[in-house]
Copies of this chain bind each other. A is one copy, B any other.
Amino acid sequence: MTPEDLVEIEAIKRVKYRYTRCLDQKLWDEIGECFTADAVAAYSGGAYSFEGRDAIVDFLRRSMGAETFHSSHRMHQPEIDLISPTTARGIWALEDTVIETQWQITIRGAAFYNDEYVKDNGQWRISRTGYRRSFEELQPRAEVTGLRLTASWWATDGRSELPAG
């Protein structure tokens, strides 16, 4: 590995971070720029699989578009290997939480991603992505005594209703 390789690896991390931020902020137009046109995705051990950028973005928008769907996807522990000047592979550790206030459920999970990246016109993009779950669990919220949402990107403009300490 050389310092110049590190610059490429940082650029690849940035694409993944941008993708994840767009997901949780519901920036569906911008998220498309993170994928190659012919990208393929196999989320959740292949349970949700799609071919082509448009099909992937359409799935993300459909499944996570509602403003009652509050998500936090966090990417950890990047193991990125450059294969050639324009191709790379990466492993990532995911943790994600979803709070759906309409259906009153919480979903929590952990997974490992295996990605492939392609550099074209000076820009790295995701050409293949997919994760396999370590675990995932679902919990109904209505039964949890006293549980209360105190901030929401959409419902409270990102401000907490809690008083400062």
Residues of A within 8 A of B (CB): 1-7, 9-11, 14, 16-18, 20-21, 24-25, 44-48, 59, 62-64, 69-72, 74-79, 91, 93, 95, 97, 99, 107-112, 131-140, 143-153, 156-160, 162, 164-165
Chain B residues near A99 (CB-CB < 8 A): 135, 137
Chain B residues near A110 (CB-CB < 8 A): 24, 70, 72, 97
Whether the pair B91, A164 counts as a contact (CB closer than 8 A) is: no
Whether the pair B160, A14 counts as a contact (CB closer than 8 A) is: no
Chain B residues near A157 (CB-CB < 8 A): 45, 132
Which residue of B9, B21, B91, B112 is within 8 Å of A91 (Cβ)? Answer: B21
Most buried by B among A25, A62, A70: A70
Chain B residue with minimal CB distance to A76? B74
Chain B residues near A164 (CB-CB < 8 A): 47-48, 59, 63
With A7-B2, A93-B74, A95-B72 in contact, do A151 and B135 touch (Cβ < 8 Å)?
Answer: yes
Chain B residues near A79 (CB-CB < 8 A): 14, 17-18, 21
